[in-house]
Chain A
Amino acid sequence: MSLIPAPIVRFYHRMASPPHFYSFSEKLMPWLIVCFLLLFIPGLYMGLYLAPTDYQQGDSYRIIYIHVPAAWMSLFIYVVMAISGAIALIWRMKIADVVLISSAPIGASFTFIALVTGSLWGKPMWGTWWVWDARLTSELILLFLYLGVISLYGAIEDKRTASRAVAILALVGVVNIPIIHYSVQWWNTLHQGPTVAKAGKPSMHIDMLIPLLLMATAFKFYYGIAMLQVAKVEILMREQNSQWVKNKIADVMEKKG
């Protein structure tokens, strides 16, 4: 008797097949783009225009609508990579390898955005671009973990060995994630504590909170869009000698004439 419902098992097996994953991601793409735009445009409008000015920080606080969702994504994507790494190592699922390596540049980008926008927010509010405190340092280490995954994968010629190596690195690096999250509580720092993701109610005005949640959800859909674009290149590269890719290319050539 299996603990997992049959439709989920079937979905898992379908997704494990590269051609199915490829065509599934093409079918999913328009929906991801629509969901992203429906959240992103009102999120921007509300965040930059409708939300009231902060009584302490003035309009500089509007950086929050990029900074906080980007920082959340930097953690979220790393966790996705670690889970994909575990699946790839345990069940040898090829697509999990692809999801792991395709997520790395996007995770690195969100970490970079979180650091840069934090710096641009810190300068007017704290009076400094950077401090070596626990939150900022652990987030910088996260950026190096992402870059480590990307360069390790690039450095190993055999892609099966490379995939196993990055899966292990992604799993080991996951210890940094709780450190980043709790850093503002464990150590005294310039960085403020959590206002949304904490026990009890968020200590933020609802008109400021709604655009933040819209942007955070929009970034999740963005991640889906960008990751699948990278994954398609990765799959084509790996499967270029298989029949389904050859058929696909024949179709493309026929259309062009």
Chain B
Amino acid sequence: MNSFAEFLAMGGYGFYVWTSYAIAFVVLLLNVVLPIMQRKQLLRQLALKQKRIK
């Protein structure tokens, strides 16, 4: 492999290779980002509830 374009082409299989990697990347990223966002939201909710009780 001597150029970046050739690297991207993946010997003609670029579509299949890069789609595979992209789907895996997005799915795995969501599995970490979504629970972090959920936890922050839950902590905010619980904090509000605690304030109201006090």
Contacts and interface: CB of A to CB of B under 8 A. Distances in A.
Interface of A: 48-49, 53, 58-60, 62-63, 66-67, 70, 105-106, 109, 112-113, 116-117, 120-121, 123-124, 222, 225-226, 229-230, 232-233, 236-237, 240, 245-246, 249-250, 252-253
Interface majority SS on B: helix, strand, loop or mixed?
Answer: helix
Contacts of A252: 43, 47
Interface string B21-52: 10110011011100110110011001100110
A237 B16 contact: no
Given A58-B13, A109-B31, 11 more contacts: A58-B12, A59-B10, A59-B12, A60-B10, A60-B17, A62-B10, A105-B31, A226-B28, A233-B38, A233-B39, A252-B43
A59 B42 contact: no
Given A49-B7, A117-B20, A236-B43, A59 B13 contact: yes
A107 to B, nearest CB: 10
Contacts of B1: 49
Nearest to B10: A59
B3 interface: no
A120 B10 contact: no
A113 B24 contact: yes
Contact of B32 (A53, A62, A123, A225): A225
B46 A245 contact: yes
A250 B46 CA distance: 10
B42 A237 contact: yes
A250 B39 CA distance: 16
B16 A120 contact: yes
13 contacts: A49-B1, A62-B17, A66-B24, A105-B31, A109-B28, A113-B24, A117-B24, A121-B16, A226-B32, A229-B35, A229-B36, A232-B35, A240-B42
